[in-house]
Amino acid sequence: MSASNPSPSICPQFSLGSLWTLCFKKIFLLVLAMVLICTCSVKAQDLEEDPPKRKFKDIVAVRGYVKYLNTTNFLNINTVFGQNLIHHRLNLRGYLNPQWTVGLEMRNRIFYGAAVALQPGFGDTLNHDNGLVDMSWTLINGNAFVVHSILDRAWVNYAKGKFEARLGRQRINWGINTVWNPNDLFNAFNYLDFDYEERPGSDAIRVQYYTGDLSGLEVAYAPGKNFDLDKTVAAAMYRFNKRNYDIQILGGLYREDLALGTGWAGSIKNAGFKGEATYFHPRRQLQDTLGTVSATVSVDYSFKNGVYVMGSFLYNSQGLITPVGLTGGGTSAFGRISAKSLMPSRYSAFASVSGQITPLLTASGGVIYAPGMNLLFLSPSFGYSLSDNWELMLLGQVFLGEDPAKGFGHLGSGVYLRIKWSY
């Protein structure tokens, strides 16, 4: 549906977009000023008092891992190509005092192999940072060899009593479900991207006030690049507990839409029961009735023998209900992920099972099916603990789908072998 022409404004400088931007810019500067004032106050107190000596390990914590991932992708027996990834992660925490904490986390990755060579401009696609500050660097950009680094966390946190504020690149996780999160306005993630455990972050201000042990108010603002209102997310969420259910209500600005949502987590007897739903309405077409509903519900259960099962269902009111011609195959069939569109299909179902075969060996399997598009995803995996900080994993991803001209068939598959050392 095409957008209607906006009516002339007597005072165009105070349009809805400019008013939002002006208000949140002032909030951003106000919180930043508060952080600086509090920092100066802490330094002044340190000069007046003689604090007890602390060891370096009490002030700075260093964690991370090194992974090697071998990937073999194929469309058919005649089209097989591989890729190698060496992935180093560094996580730093600085505990300045009981109130102030800083965090810095970096991804350093080396890609090489035939799959890199078959994707022209692969290094350029990696060197893309949606944040306010560009903290992404492609150090080596060859045809079949790429080295890339990015800071995906860089924040300062102040906490005292019931109040907590964080400024900088951070993860704001408002999602409840495991696979699909319509409530995750700031950092919707792709379930298929299994190798990015930390998930993406946002350049944002987040303020939390805890009204009780199980309740609190949270407000967050993530401005778009160049303070573009159409790329900005600003929202508030209130969470509380009622009859052993954790419930949350949220609303705010989500890029080009206004969003209103809710979510819950509880149980039905011994089974976990969770759900999320968010309604998105174009903010430039408030008079229209056309909006988008993204909603999901899930049930999970753990058996006494350790086997864990989960099922989930997703509804996207603007999703597709018929097969379409799929080009690119593989993960491209699932489209771009956002809280508003977590799957391209109107209906999607997920099921998984996992458990321990031996104390050191685990197995799991997941299935996603979109009935309208007739799109199917399969993912079996095995994990083996070599020692306390060494892990071995074997995972497969199979994509099947229907093309109106060619019928149901194979879109692409991948086999992933990964070894990981944590420190």
pLDDT band, residue 7 (cuts 50/70/90): very low
Whether 150 contacts 134, CB under 8 Å: no
Share of the chain above pLDDT 70, in %: 86
Amino acid at 264: W
pLDDT category of residue 54 using cuts at 50, 70 and 90: confident
Quickly tell me which residue has 């022209």 as its tokens.
120
Torsion angles phi and psi, residue 194, rounded to 5: -70, -20
Residue 255 has phi, psi (to 5 degrees) of: 55, -115
Mean pLDDT of 124-140: 90
pLDDT in tens, 8-28: 333 334 344 444 445 545 554
Q: What is the pLDDT of residues 194-250, one digit of tens each?
A: 999 999 899 999 999 999 999 999 999 999 988 899 999 999 999 999 999 999 999
Percent of the chain whose pLDDT exceeds 90: 72
Check if the beta carbon of residue 285 is closer than 8 Å to that of residue 3. Answer: yes
CA distances from 23 to 10, 27, 76, 229, 232 (A): 20, 6, 55, 12, 13
Confidence of residue 329 (pLDDT cuts 50, 70, 90): low
SS3 of 37, please?
helix
Nearest CA to 348 out of 398, 296, 399, 310 is that of: 296
Helix (H) / strand (E) element for 209: namely strand 202-212
Looking at per-residue pLDDT, the higher value among 100 and 28 belongs to 100
Residue-level pLDDT at 78: 84
Taking residues 336-355, report their average pLDDT. Answer: 95
Tokens 């009516």 belong to 7
Average confidence (pLDDT) over 352-358? 97
Token pair 């999160």: residue = 181
Q: What is the pTM of this model?
A: 0.83
Task: Indicate the average pLDDT of the chain.
Answer: 88
Q: Distance (Å, rounded) from C-alpha 277 to C-alpha 185?
A: 11
The CA distances from residue 308 to 44, 137, 271, in Å, are 53, 41, 11
CB count within 10 Å of CB 401 equals 22
Q: What is the DSSP string of 307-352?
A: -EEEEEEEEETTSB-S-----S-GGGGG----SS-SSSBSEEEEEE
pLDDT at 10: 35
Domain ranges of the chain: 60-152
Q: What is the dihedral of CA 62, 68, 74, 79, to 10 degrees?
A: 130
